[in-house]
């Protein structure tokens, strides 16, 4: 009986010891709640004790965490819509304030922090033009509002180390994107017109060069042809002259036959001549 009592006492002591000890790992901090009220806070890594049944421990991650947010639409100074997608990098700085503000719920913290960040970005984007927002230095947009954001985040026990803009888009249902598309189309049309004009100019130059080359080639060919015809005529004249010197009568006969052949080549030619005409001298029967 006494042995059983010792065992029960040992088990009870073990459970009491387990209920009074908790471990905080590296990068984490803990708070101890006494009947729901914060008794001790910011307990660092290591082994810690608490009163069983009366006290409970909550451990929180104190490392830098990414706090996502939904894209938000803003108006620029020109009253044009932009959609900004961003995320924040922060950590719990004051564990007591964090627990009191959010009950230790990280989701609640993100939901309460998002309006603070969005309002700060709205103030900055509202003061800039669309060109400055889209193509400007995004770190300046963020940097000028980071102190303002941290003043609001301090009420939640959180400190934002960095705020990054992932993407800036034009909303698909806004007039801005239609204006941008029209401007892009007009610019493409200008480029296309310029390229067509340059192409037409080059085509005209190529055609002009081709026409000039053709005229030069035809002129040179005609010149060579005239020269060859002249040389041929000269050679023919020389040969005729030699033939006439050797046998004038036969040369005259041959020339007359050539004249007859050419005159009656088509078989339909009618020539009216006097019967004593010299052209017919070789056709008379008395020859």
Instruction: Check if CATH label 3.30.479.30 holds for domain 65-173.
Output: yes
% of the chain surpassing 70 pLDDT:
74
**What distance in Å separates the CA atoms of residue 151 and residue 159, rounded to the nearest whole number?**
9
Q: Quote the DSSP letter at residue 54.
A: T
C-beta of residue 89 within 8 angstroms of C-beta of residue 68: no
Mean pLDDT of 187-216: 88
Between these two residues, 273 and 210, which has the higher pLDDT value? Answer: 210
Query: Tokens representing 145?
Result: 């509002």
Residue 97 has pLDDT above 80, yes or no: yes
Sorting pLDDT into bands at 50, 70 and 90, what band is 10?
A: low
Place of tokens 């303002």: 148
The per-residue pLDDT for range 134-153, each reduced to its tens digit, is: 766 667 777 778 888 888 88
Segment 223-273, tens digit of pLDDT: 888 888 888 888 877 777 776 677 666 666 667 667 667 766 676 766 665
Place of tokens 């009220």: 37
Instruction: Look at the block and give the residue holding tokens 């997608």.
Output: 85
With H, G, I as helix, E, B as strand and everything else as coil, classify residue 272: coil
| Helices vs strands, H then E, count in the chain | 7, 9
| Spatial distance between the Cα atoms of 146 and 252, rounded to a whole number of angstroms | 121
> Which is nearest to 92 in space by CA: 32, 161, 139?
161
Cα angle, residue 192 at apex, residues 190 and 198 outer, rounded to 5°: 100
Tokens of 5: 């009592």
Answer for the pair 24, 41: CB distance below 8 angstroms, yes or no.
Answer: no
d(CA 195, CA 189) in angstroms, rounded, equals 10
114 burial level (CB within 10 Å; 0-12, 13-18, 19+):
middle
pLDDT of residue 278: 62
């Amino acid at each position: 009986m006494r042995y059983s009592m010792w065992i029960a006492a040992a088990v009870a002591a073990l459970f009491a010891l387990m209920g009074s000890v908790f471990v905080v790992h590296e990068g984490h901090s803990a708070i101890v709640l006494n009947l729901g009220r914060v008794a001790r806070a910011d307990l660092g890594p290591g082994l810690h004790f608490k009163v069983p049944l009366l006290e409970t421990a909550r451990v929180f991650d104190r490392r830098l965490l990414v706090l996502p947010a939904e894209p938000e639409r803003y108006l620029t100074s020109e009253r044009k819509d932009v959609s900004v997608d961003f995320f924040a990098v922060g950590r719990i700085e004051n564990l007591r304030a964090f627990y009191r503000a959010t009950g230790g719920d990280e989701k609640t913290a993100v939901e309460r922090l998002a309006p603070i960040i969005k309002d700060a970005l709205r103030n900055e984007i509202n003061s800039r033009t669309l060109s400055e927002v889209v193509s400007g230095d995004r770190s300046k947009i963020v940097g000028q509002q980071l102190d303002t954001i941290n003043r609001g985040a301090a009420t939640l026990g959180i400190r934002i180390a960095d705020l990054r803009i992932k993407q800036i888009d034009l909303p698909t249902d806004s007039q801005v994107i239609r204006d941008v598309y029209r401007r892009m189309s007009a610019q493409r049309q200008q480029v296309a017109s310029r390229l067509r004009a340059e192409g037409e100019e080059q085509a005209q130059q190529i055609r002009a060069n081709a026409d000039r080359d053709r005229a030069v080639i035809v002129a040179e060919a005609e010149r060579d042809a005239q020269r060859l015809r002249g040389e041929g005529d000269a050679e023919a004249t020389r040969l005729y002259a030699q033939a006439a010197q050797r046998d004038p009568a036969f040369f005259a006969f041959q020339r007359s036959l050539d004249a007859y052949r050419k005159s009656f080549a088509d078989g339909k030619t009618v020539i009216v001549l006097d019967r004593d005409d010299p052209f017919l001298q070789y056709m008379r029967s008395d020859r």
